[in-house]
Amino acid sequence: MKASNPTDLVRDRLGGAIFQRVAGPQGPERHRRINAPGERLFAGDRPIRRVHGDSSMFIGGITALLLQSLHPLAMAAVAGHSGYRGDPWGRLQRTSYFLALTTFGRASDAHEAIAKVRAIHQKITGTAPDGRPYAASDPHLLTWVHIAEADSFLRAHARFGAQPLDQAGRDGYVADLARIGAELGVPDPPCTEADLTARIAGYRAELAGTAQAREAARFLLLTPPLPAVARPPYTVLAAASVSLLPGWARRPLRLPRLPVTEAALVRPAGHALVHAIRWATAPPRPAPAG
């Protein structure tokens, strides 16, 4: 349906631009597959649907990448095999499709997507700059990637989400994501927020701000391949994502902690931008009767 007034026209164009960037050229086909009729992996009232369907994921996704980069072996695998510098938008589109399909798609399609990712992980091996071997299928590394995502998405939704979850909902989200994690090969993934926090604390001795991690952070936060018009809003997303990181995660990446600036400027700007994205990407409202 074509826009009927200037506001709807702006909304349609902005929403279309965001969809094209995040979903890529296969977006319409993927959208049809996600919405195809059939049994879902998660019921409509599950917390994972509220979190992954909210625009706060734009912030949480950046936070997750920054946090994940702190494990030297996980970062080495990303640097050597993900193509994040040569094809960052392709990586974003593949990741967003996986999250959408496993969260909202048919159960059969979700299981198929998870199996494909597991097969890809089996092929990713190498040696980190410090000489240690790594394998993307290593259960210990899979666990780190999983818990870093869970924690980041939950933090972003708690601060910038339209309908923040209560404690039962937060635990429910961790338990929902655990179902996907277990199928990906994560052994005994956490099922409550408290367990998630404890698992992350258990990895801290292994984390470090390597040269690869700092280079990835600079690329992600300062020099992503974006047109000039998209740089100001992306800067807001990047600053908001950093604001979610605890101090122990910022220091190794040499990211500043500015509590007053974050409270007075970054968080309000983040809320405003997430609200704008939510407005632009919301389903079209039905035309008034008559």
Residue 23 lies inside a defined structural domain of this protein: yes
Query: Given this model, what pLDDT does residue 8 score?
Result: 77
Residue 33 lies inside a defined structural domain of this protein: yes
Query: Given this model, what pLDDT does residue 155 score?
Result: 98
Q: Return mean pLDDT, the chain.
A: 92
Per the structure, the complete domain to which residue 144 belongs is given by 6-280
DSSP 36-67: SSS-BSS-TT-HHHHHHTSTTHHHHHHHHHHH
Residue 99 lies inside a defined structural domain of this protein: yes
Please determine, for residue 278, whether its predicted confidence score (pLDDT) is greater than 50. Answer: yes
Give yes or no for a contact between 105 and 31, defined as CB atoms under 8 angstroms apart. Answer: no
Dihedral angle computed from the Cα positions of residues 66, 71, 77 and 82, in that order, rounded to the nearest 10 degrees:
-10
Residue 290 lies inside a defined structural domain of this protein: no
Q: pLDDT tens across 213-226, in order?
A: 999 999 999 998 88
Q: Which of 5-14, 122-131, 225-234 reaches the highest mean pLDDT?
A: 122-131
Domain count, the chain: 1
pLDDT band with cut points at 50, 70 and 90 for residue 27:
confident
Count CB neighbours of 233 within 10 A.
Answer: 16
| Amino acid present at 209 | G
As a whole number of angstroms, the distance between CA 27 and CA 284 comes to: 17
Residue 181 lies inside a defined structural domain of this protein: yes
* Minimum mean pLDDT range among 48-57, 80-89, 123-132, 208-217: 80-89
Query: Given this model, what pLDDT does residue 246 score?
Result: 93
Give yes or no for a contact between 177 and 60, defined as CB atoms under 8 angstroms apart. Answer: no
Q: How many residues does the chain have?
A: 290
Dihedral angle computed from the Cα positions of residues 126, 132, 137 and 141, in that order, rounded to the nearest 10 degrees:
-130
As a whole number of angstroms, the distance between CA 152 and CA 200 comes to: 11
Query: Given this model, what pLDDT does residue 175 score?
Result: 98
Query: Given this model, what pLDDT does residue 44 score?
Result: 96
**Phi-psi bin for 50: left (phi > 0), alpha (psi -120 to 50), beta?**
alpha
Q: pLDDT tens across 245-277, in order?
A: 999 999 999 998 888 889 899 999 999 999 999
Residue 286 lies inside a defined structural domain of this protein: no
Q: pLDDT tens across 160-181, in order?
A: 999 999 999 999 999 999 999 9
Q: Which residues pair with 126 in a beta bridge?
A: 134
How many CA atoms are closer than 13 Å to the CA of 95, on its beta-carbon side? 21
The mean pLDDT of 222-244, rounded to a whole number, is: 92
The mean pLDDT of 194-219, rounded to a whole number, is: 97
Contacts with 241 (C-beta within 8 Å, 6 or more apart), sequence order: 59, 60, 61, 62, 63, 66, 156, 221
DSSP the chain: ---SSHHHHHHHHHHHHHHHHHH-TTHHHHHHHHTSSS-BSS-TT-HHHHHHTSTTHHHHHHHHHHHHTTSHHHHHHHHHHT-TTTSHHHHHHHHHHHHHHHHHSBHHHHHHHHHHHHHHHHH-EEE-TTS-EEETT-HHHHHHHHHHHHHHHHHHHHHH-SS---HHHHHHHHHHHHHHHHHHT-SS---SHHHHHHHHHHHGGG----HHHHHHHHHHHH-----GGGHHHHHHHHHHHHHTS-HHHHHHHT----HHHIIIIIHHHHHHHHHHHHHHHSPPPPPPP-
Residue 288 lies inside a defined structural domain of this protein: no
Residue 289 lies inside a defined structural domain of this protein: no
Query: Given this model, what pLDDT does residue 289 score?
Result: 46
Query: Given this model, what pLDDT does residue 288 score?
Result: 47
pTM reported for the whole predicted model: 0.91
Q: Minimal CA–CA distance to 255: which of 83, 59, 63, 79?
A: 63
Give yes or no for a contact between 81 and 136, defined as CB atoms under 8 angstroms apart. Answer: yes
The mean pLDDT of 9-33, rounded to a whole number, is: 84
Query: Given this model, what pLDDT does residue 4 score?
Result: 60
